[in-house]
């Protein structure tokens, strides 16, 4: 091998996906700053879920999961990237930690449903009903992890945690899904995916 030859250890597509995963991790952190505490609710209303939705839709289960893993690791390491600028392992283990873990699992589930494999495919090849079903499945995963975690880490019963941590916030979460789908239908996410 001469000095001018190079070995490609990581393909261009993998580099692009890693870069986009890092961008989506940062975007999830930015969304965390849009957090509205509501009196009487055990969890704040937050836009972090958009990060999970976009990661799963754009990157599929492998790279979307990487994006949310990066986000969680940075927060656990002490960067103020959780809701309201919180950080640290203590916050992750607290009442809202289940929702944070749920975001990671939701990105993987959404990606698996939409892309039907580990690698992402163009969103233009995925029907809107499939995307909507994937986002609803992702939301169900978030609640499935977040609600019991909330009940176990507070004095709330499971029923109280379910009402405060799922039923009450469900209308807003459905609006977030509709907003995500509107971006996809408008081609904004598809165009960004194509240029990545």
Q: Residue 129 in contact with residue 75, Cβ under 8 Å? A: no
CA distance 69 to 75: 10
- Per-residue pLDDT for 119 more than 90? no
- The CATH class of the 12-195 domain is mainly alpha
Q: What percent of the chain has pLDDT over 90?
A: 67
Stated pTM of the model: 0.86
Mean pLDDT for 60-70 is 96
- Please tell me the least confidently modeled range out of 66-75, 113-122, 128-137, 142-151: 113-122
What are the residues whose beta carbons fall under 8 Å from the beta carbon of 131, sequence distance 6 or more?
Answer: 57, 114, 123, 181, 184
The H or E element that residue 46 is part of is strand 45-46
**Residue tagged 């873990």 (tokens):** 101
Mean pLDDT for 63-70 is 96
Mean pLDDT for 103-119 is 94
């Amino acid at each position: 091998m001469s000095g001018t030859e190079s070995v490609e250890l990581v393909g261009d597509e993998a580099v692009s996906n890693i870069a986009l995963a890092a961008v989506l991790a940062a975007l999830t952190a930015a969304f965390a700053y849009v957090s509205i505490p509501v009196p009487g609710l055990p969890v704040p209303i937050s836009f972090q879920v958009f990060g999970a939705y976009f990661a799963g839709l754009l990157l599929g289960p492998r790279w979307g999961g990487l994006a949310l893993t990066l986000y969680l690791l940075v927060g656990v390491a002490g960067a103020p990237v959780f809701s309201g600028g919180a950080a640290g392992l203590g916050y992750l283990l607290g009442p809202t930690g289940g929702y944070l873990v749920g975001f990671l699992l939701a990105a993987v589930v959404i990606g698996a449903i939409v892309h039907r494999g580990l690698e992402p495919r163009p969103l233009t090849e995925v029907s809107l009903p499939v995307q909507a079903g994937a986002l609803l499945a992702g939301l169900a995963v978030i609640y499935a992890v977040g609600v019991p975690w909330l009940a176990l880490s507070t004095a709330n019963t499971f029923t109280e945690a379910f009402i405060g941590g799922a039923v009450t916030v469900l209308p807003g979460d459905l609006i977030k899904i509709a907003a995500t789908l509107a971006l996809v239908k408008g081609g904004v996410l598809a165009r960004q995916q194509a240029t990545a």
